[in-house]
Structure 1
Amino acid sequence: MAKHVTRRSALTIIACSGASVMSGRAWAEDKTGRVIYPVAVPVYQTQFVADRIGYFKDAGLDCRLIQGGSGVKTREIIASSQGDIGIGDITHPMQLSNHGRAGRVLMPVDTRSSSVIFIIRKDLKDQGITSLEALAAWKRPDGRKPIVSVSSLGGTNHVWASYYMETMGLDDKVTWIGTGNVDTMLGSLKTRQVDVLVSSLSLLNDSVEQGWGALLFDGTDEAIWNKYIGGKVPVTAHFTLQATIDKDPPKMQAFVNALWRATRWIKMHSPEEIYGTIEPYVGSTSRAANILEITALQKVVDYEASVDAAGWARGEKVWFREMTGIKPLTIAEVISPAFIEAARKAYPT
């Protein structure tokens, strides 16, 4: 069971937040920061913007952004305290809590998934496989089930894609595998080692342009999302350990201040401007593909960075099921709202 913030920790946050929120620099001796993201795609743009625009630096942090390689690897880095704050599916801090590490969400990122697009091999689409049902009925030449690739088993793509398949009664008709970062994901589809790749719009666009990928099912579409999920749900989040918070609450406040400012910056700038800023972090896919994805992201970003009871309830059916293995947790056991509340006051809209 997740451990709640202690009274002493809460008092520390309150005592320090005034100075730290306004200046972003009132913490202990360690000003270095290790910020972890899974793979090089725009969905993690708040971290990229906070670094490139200088918001981490403004907060007094000497930050290094580190690519984890997948959502699960990002979680492992945070669990080992080799990273201060990570970004990934909201189930990652839940998994940490279930394993005695007390994961905490500092700030939600979006209101629905932007990376649950099923991309099928073009040759299979040309053969008439145009739906998830048709995919599930098809067999590989050796008689095996279709192979569906995600960045990592247990990561965002897997959690949400498997929920769609499970709801349709198709989850046991395919084999799921993790194929890592952008280059290896695209490579596995191109070389036909996998039959479907579940990822984001930028990877769909690049695979279509190269002539070896096609859209099969868009789980990011608002109408489809609402049909199966029911509305707003926090999917991606910035997270850490309670132990990391307890070690230096004002330092964590500085991280959230910078990320909140990055969120506001994203809201006020065009996809082209956002791409121009984050390009060093998303160079594995084309400019056109990235701009398409950033445009789509602007429709799902949580510009208030808040989680309400209704959104939490909608997410429970996805998070707490046999596939994830996550034991149910309450919103209070996962979300630490004090930091984003303080950031909003310091940097109002």
Structure 2
Amino acid sequence: MAYFTRRSALKIVAAGGAAIASGRAWAQDKTGRVIYPVAVPVYQTQFVADRLGYFKEAGLDCKLIQGGSGVKTREIIASAQGDIGIGDITHPMQLSNRGRNGRVLMPVDTRSSSVMFIIRRDLWDQGITTLEKLTEWKRPDGRKPIVSVSSLGGTNHVWSSYYMETMGLDQKVTWIGTGNVDTMLGSLKTKQVDVLVSSLSLLNDSKEQGWGTLLFDGTDETIWNKYIGGKVPVTAHFTLQATIDKDPAKMQAFVTAIWRATQWIKTHSPDEIHDTIEPYVGSTSRAANILEITALQKVTDYDASIDAAAFARGEKVWFREMTGIKPLTPAGLVSPSFIEAARKAYPA
């Protein structure tokens, strides 16, 4: 198993230090493919890096490609059709479990921003106002309630199923994946599903259209701390070890551009962030996106680090029967050298 070590990262920094200081790239004229699941602000670091030219300044002719879901994003990375993906941290774990040696390059957040249970408005009006009441209700054909997530095994599913499992309710609903923003909202509008688990932007749009309302907010800090216990790396930028080995300088350029985007987000307003990423999040309204961006600023990991305590908190969610993921250690999953080098080049 090959590793990109701290020493080799520092060699790259030393070799490229003068170029970085002058604003020139580490990786000159390289093509890149960055994959994101769906068109929502939670993936804004990649959007910002593209729109502000950070990829270009790093010497990357970079294309951002929508995967369609977290699982599809993982598949694209696994097939080496993409260089870096963004999604639930369980995706690189799944890659490693399947012999592909997934690697986390940097975490995105400290808790999930997309575990909002959005119930059909007509069901809420009937008095179904808690998760417990939802699971006691039956569809007209006698079947269990249908809960929609973007993809089975993706972020929404992993974390929402953990909440339901902890409450003893996970087997009392049927889980399905419904894909991108338009299809997720469409399934709620047409009553094909009873609950949609997603982010604040979709909640806001569904409320404005009269299709849905909030049933349970798994993103709320008090609720999160009650069930999860504190900071956890939920979303991450990830790749394959083979991709790192093929061109570590190119990988460093990616991480440095995304690190710069993270720091830019920290110092700019939700309106400024939205105006920057708007071409990527046009499926939902400006008002909905700004609400979500505001919430994201509270959970973003601006240090982009994963400590042992945070990893340990996540283990009870990641390594359970529902995910089927065999336990991994931080050393076996995380490649911190790139973000360490990026911090040295562009101190926060």
TM-score normalized with structure 1 length: 0.96
For 1:1-80, list aligned pairs within 5 A: 3=1, 5=3, 12-20=8-16, 23=20, 25-27=25-27, 31-80=30-79
Per-residue Cα deviation, 1:154-178 (whole angstroms, up to 9, x for no partner): 0000000000000000000000000
For the residues of structure 1 that align with 2:6 and 2:277, how far apart are their CA atoms?
35
The answer as to 2:255 corresponding to 1:259 is: no
Secondary structure in 1 aligned to 2:113?
coil
For the residues of structure 2 that align with 1:14 and 1:297, how far apart are their CA atoms?
32
Cα contact 1:25–1:251 (8 A) shared by 2: no
What amino acid is the match of 1:243? A
Give the 4+ runs in structure 1 shifted more than 2 A.
Answer: 9-27
For the residues of structure 1 that align with 2:262 and 2:56, how far apart are their CA atoms?
16
Secondary structure in 2 aligned to 1:298?
helix
Secondary structure in 2 aligned to 1:215?
strand
**C-alpha displacement of 1:5:** 1.1
Residue aligning to 2:218: 219
Per-residue Cα deviation, 1:259-310 (whole angstroms, up to 9, x for no partner): 0000000000000000000000000000000000000000000000000000
Runs of 5+ consecutive residues of structure 1 not aligned to the other structure: none
Secondary structure in 2 aligned to 1:299?
helix
Per-residue Cα deviation, 1:83-105 (whole angstroms, up to 9, x for no partner): 00000000000000000000000
Cα contact 1:17–1:253 (8 A) shared by 2: no
Residue aligning to 1:123: 122
What amino acid is the match of 2:160? A
Secondary structure in 2 aligned to 1:66?
strand
Secondary structure in 2 aligned to 1:325?
coil
**C-alpha displacement of 1:139:** 0.5
Cα contact 1:119–1:217 (8 A) shared by 2: yes
For the residues of structure 2 that align with 1:53 and 1:216, how far apart are their CA atoms?
37
Structure 1 window deviating more from structure 2 (277-286 vs 9-18): it is: 9-18
**C-alpha displacement of 1:11:** 5.7
For the residues of structure 1 that align with 2:176 and 2:311, how far apart are their CA atoms?
28
Cα contact 2:34–2:64 (8 A) shared by 1: yes
Residue aligning to 2:227: 228
Residue aligning to 2:268: 269
For the residues of structure 1 that align with 2:151 and 2:336, how far apart are their CA atoms?
28
Residue aligning to 2:111: 112
For the residues of structure 2 that align with 1:293 and 1:242, how far apart are their CA atoms?
33
Cα contact 2:100–2:240 (8 A) shared by 1: yes
Aligned residue-pair number: 344
For the residues of structure 1 that align with 2:168 and 2:153, how far apart are their CA atoms?
19
What amino acid is the match of 1:25? A
**C-alpha displacement of 1:16:** 2.4
Runs of 5+ consecutive residues of structure 2 not aligned to the other structure: none
For the residues of structure 1 that align with 2:252 and 2:97, how far apart are their CA atoms?
25
What amino acid is the match of 1:105? V
Residue aligning to 2:342: 343
Per-residue Cα deviation, 1:133-152 (whole angstroms, up to 9, x for no partner): 00011100000000000000
Q: Give me the CA root mean square deviation.
A: 1.3
Residue aligning to 1:138: 137
**C-alpha displacement of 1:330:** 0.2
The answer as to 2:302 corresponding to 1:303 is: yes
TM-score normalized with structure 2 length: 0.97
Residue aligning to 1:186: 185
**C-alpha displacement of 1:14:** 3.9
For the residues of structure 1 that align with 2:50 and 2:290, how far apart are their CA atoms?
19
Q: Percent identity?
A: 82
For the residues of structure 2 that align with 1:262 and 1:342, how far apart are their CA atoms?
15
